């Protein structure tokens, strides 16, 4: 469903972002904490335990020798006591590069209260980027709209985050309610295929989108990513479609077509509300099916406080498992 054309009441803010605004969020991001699905079950700070096993820094377990094990890992004292060869297994400590995927398609150019979904996505993405850099890890990202995609390889520098902010702001400020051309319906899957070709293992992948136009391939691509990486999905939404008014009208545009919705008519109002709720339930069900956090971020609320709360809840739920 195309949702282009509505603006927040305060049109001086919440419609677009600038590099300066995104850069200013650096200090706000310091108390965010990301969870790690695999390995250690705790908020991430700095270096992380790899899911790969090898001659690393942290002792993990003793087990019987198996064909193919490195003989240098044999614990000779335990072997002598048991008359069976035992090896010492270590978890290897290494950095974890991060890729932040930021949706700036025209379906994100919608907002009924505080900000456009595109602005909330921009803020959430750059808050994550600043926090990851502050933890000492490399950060990069992919920013996409209906036709184009920019790609930044992970680096450990403020310049890399500023470059990501620049790409986000550039695509964000190109959005408007009268954009020509057709929507890139397959763009989300195309971007995720690119991410899957980059993040083969041990990455943190954060996808910030409303997941408009998701398909069965979208789910399969995210599942593929989550097998060898930690994946966090931030589902950006606007509550307007969940609580539609009982009077008034709204013009909805999609490419060269537009439609006028009369909210006083119960049929269209019910159909839109049911569509929005069922779509939200479907996406949130991925959290259980795929075993990854699907964090709903409202464009009607300040981004940093709700992101802080959502990440804290996700970390708590992960520790309970």
User: Higher pLDDT residue, 248 or 103?
Assistant: 103
Please report, for the chain, the start and end positions of each structural domain, with discontinuous segments joined by +: 19-41+96-320, 48-94
Residue-level pLDDT at 306: 94
User: Higher pLDDT residue, 3 or 190?
Assistant: 190
Residue-level pLDDT at 208: 98
The rounded distance, in Å, linking the Cα atoms of 235 and 283 is 8
Tell me what percent of the residues of the chain surpass a pLDDT of 90: 47
- Maximum separation of any 2 CA atoms in the chain, in Å: 83
Q: What is the pLDDT of residues 144-202, one digit of tens each?
A: 999 999 999 999 999 999 999 999 999 999 998 776 656 667 999 999 999 999 998 88
Decide: residue 268, CB within 10 A, 0-12 exposed, 13-18 middle, 19+ buried.
Answer: middle
| Cβ contact 168:22 at 8 Å | yes
Residue-level pLDDT at 318: 61
What residues contact residue 87 under an 8 Å CB cut-off, 6+ apart? 62, 63, 64, 65, 66, 69, 70, 73, 74, 75
Residue-level pLDDT at 91: 58
Residue-level pLDDT at 93: 52
The rounded distance, in Å, linking the Cα atoms of 148 and 169 is 14
Beta-bridged to residue 249, according to DSSP, are 262
Please state the rounded mean pLDDT for residues 287-303. 87
Fold of 19-41+96-320: Rossmann fold (3.40.50)
What mean pLDDT is reported for the chain?
A: 79
Q: Is the pTM of this model over 0.85?
A: no
- C-alpha dihedral, 112 to 30 to 318 to 53, nearest 10°: 130
Please state the rounded mean pLDDT for residues 264-276. 53
Is the per-residue pLDDT at 267 higher than 60? no
Q: What is the pLDDT of residues 55-81, one digit of tens each?
A: 445 666 788 887 777 788 899 999 999
How many other C-beta atoms lie within 10 A of the C-beta of residue 90?
Answer: 16
Residue-level pLDDT at 19: 97
Residue-level pLDDT at 42: 40
Here the tokens at position 252 are: 């909805």
Here the tokens at position 96 are: 């974890």
Is the per-residue pLDDT at 4 higher than 60? no
Please state the rounded mean pLDDT for residues 295-314. 90
The rounded distance, in Å, linking the Cα atoms of 167 and 18 is 10
Is the per-residue pLDDT at 235 higher than 90? yes
| Cβ contact 57:93 at 8 Å | yes
The rounded distance, in Å, linking the Cα atoms of 92 and 78 is 22
| Cβ contact 195:142 at 8 Å | yes
Using 50, 70 and 90 to split pLDDT, how confident is the model at 10?
A: very low
Is the per-residue pLDDT at 88 higher than 50? yes
């Amino acid at each position: 469903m195309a949702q282009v054309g509505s603006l927040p009441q305060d049109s001086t803010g919440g419609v677009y972002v600038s590099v300066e605004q995104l850069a200013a969020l650096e200090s706000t991001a310091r108390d965010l904490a990301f969870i790690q699905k695999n390995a250690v079950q705790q908020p991430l700070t700095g270096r992380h335990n790899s899911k790969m096993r090898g001659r690393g820094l942290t002792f993990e377990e003793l087990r019987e020798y198996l064909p193919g094990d490195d003989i240098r890992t044999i614990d000779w004292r335990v072997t002598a006591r048991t008359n069976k060869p035992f090896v010492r297994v270590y978890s290897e400590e290494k950095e974890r590069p991060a890729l932040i995927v930021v949706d700036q398609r025209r379906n994100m150019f919608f907002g009924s209260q505080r900000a456009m979904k595109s602005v909330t996505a921009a803020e959430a993405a750059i808050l994550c980027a600043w926090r990851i850099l502050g933890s000492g890890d490399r950060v990069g990202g992919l920013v996409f709209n209906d036709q184009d995609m920019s790609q930044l390889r992970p680096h450990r520098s403020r310049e890399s985050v500023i470059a990501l902010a620049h790409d986000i702001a550039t695509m964000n400020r190109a959005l408007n309610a009268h954009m020509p051309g057709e929507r890139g319906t397959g763009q989300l899957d195309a971007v995720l295929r690119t991410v899957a070709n980059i993040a083969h293992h041990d990455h943190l992948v954060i996808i910030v989108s409303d997941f408009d136009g998701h398909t069965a391939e979208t789910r399969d691509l995210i599942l593929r990513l989550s097998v060898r990486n930690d994946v966090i999905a931030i589902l950006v939404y606007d509550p307007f479609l969940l609580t539609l008014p009982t009077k008034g009208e709204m013009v909805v545009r999609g490419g060269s077509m537009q439609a006028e919705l009369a909210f006083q008519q119960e049929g269209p109002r019910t159909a839109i509300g049911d569509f929005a709720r069922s779509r939200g339930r479907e996406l949130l069900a991925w959290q259980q099916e795929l075993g990854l956090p699907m964090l709903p971020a409202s464009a009607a609320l300040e981004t940093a406080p709700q992101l802080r709360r959502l990440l804290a809840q996700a970390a708590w739920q992960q520790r309970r498992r």
